[in-house]
Each structure stands twice: as structure tokens, then as C-alpha cells.
């Protein structure tokens, strides 16, 4: 039973970063981003539409991504989002901050006594 816990929500505060990173690789529509995050996280995360779409609106409003209606591979209409230059900067900044935070948490979890 060392394996696969049931999927859960994304770690709070990281969804924007994960979306930016995902659309940085290639323009994608919202639904696809959700699936991709589930896949790459290997089922650790599961993104709800009620989280996803507000996030896309948020990111677009802030100018970090830009949407455009296109046809999917399956002949449907979907809004494809791609990263802007500002979005690329934002992604770098959030990723850097995340590294610092997860390193800090790792330090705390590994602490064995009174180290500073």
C-alpha cells in the first residue's frame, strides 16, 4: 500500500503557476490543461472545473495568458490559451518563490533539533 493515494486538490496557491507552466509548453484549452495536470501529477492532483475556469479568467485579466477560439483536433470549438511575455516573467517568479517555499518546508520537516 505504498501506492497511489486517491487524487486530491492542487496545493493551494500553486494552480496559477501550474497552469502557466502547462500553457508555456504549448497553447492549450482549459479542459486540456486540467487533464494534463492530472496526468503529469500521476493522479495526485485533480483539477475541478470550478477552480480551473476562474483561474483562467484571473490569469487573462492580469495579462499573463491570452485566449483565442480555435478548433480542437476533434472538430470542436475551444478557447486556446497561450503565455504572454508578462506571463513568462510571472511564471519564472512564481517558480522561484515555490522553490524557496518547498525548500523551507523540507528544512522544517527534516529538522532534528534546534538548528537555525
Partner DNA sequence: CTGCTTCTCTAGATTGTCAAGAGGAAATGG
Partner DNA sequence: CCATTTCCTCTTGACAATCTAGAGAAGCAG
Q: Which is nearer to its own copies, 14 or 69 (CB)?
A: 14
Name 18's Cβ contacts closer than 8 Å, sequence gap at least 6.
Answer: 10, 37, 45
User: Which value, in Å, is the radius of gyration of the alpha carbons in the chain?
Assistant: 17
**31 binds its own copies per the rule CB under 8 A:** no
**13 binds DNA per the rule CB under 7 A:** yes
Q: How far is the CB of 39 from its own copies (least distance, A)?
A: 5
* The C-alpha cell that represents 102 in the structure block: 518547498
Give me the torsion for CA of 59, 65, 69, 71, rounded to 10°.
Answer: -110
- The CA distance from 95 to 115, in Å, is 27
* Contact pattern from residue 40 through residue 59 relative to its own copies, giving x for each residue in contact according to CB under 8 A and a dash for the rest: xxx-xx--------------
Q: How far is the CB of 63 from its own copies (least distance, A)?
A: 22
Name 100's Cβ contacts closer than 8 Å, sequence gap at least 6.
Answer: none
Q: How far is the CB of 18 from DNA (least distance, A)?
A: 8
Which residues from 17-46 bind DNA, rule CB under 7 A?
29-32, 46
Q: Which of 94, 80, 88, 29 is nearest to 64 (CA)?
A: 88
Q: Which does 50 bind (CB under 5 to 8 A by kind): DNA, its own copies, none?
A: DNA
* Footprint of its own copies (CB under 8 A): 5, 8, 11-14, 17-18, 21-22, 25, 37, 39-42, 44-45, 95, 97-98, 100-109, 111-116
Amino acid at each position: 500500500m505504498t501506492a497511489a493515494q486517491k487524487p486530491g486538490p492542487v496545493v493551494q496557491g500553486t494552480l496559477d503557476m501550474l497552469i502557466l507552466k502547462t500553457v508555456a509548453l504549448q497553447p492549450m484549452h482549459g479542459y486540456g490543461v486540467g487533464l494534463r495536470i492530472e496526468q503529469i501529477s500521476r493522479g495526485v492532483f485533480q483539477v475541478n472545473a470550478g477552480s480551473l475556469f476562474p483561474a483562467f479568467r484571473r490569469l487573462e485579466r492580469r495579462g499573463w495568458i491570452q485566449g483565442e477560439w480555435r478548433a480542437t483536433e476533434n472538430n470542436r470549438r475551444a478557447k486556446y490559451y497561450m503565455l504572454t511575455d508578462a506571463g513568462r516573467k510571472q511564471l519564472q517568479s512564481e517558480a522561484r518563490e515555490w522553490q524557496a517555499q518547498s525548500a523551507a518546508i523540507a528544512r522544517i520537516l527534516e529538522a532534528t533539533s534546534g538548528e537555525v
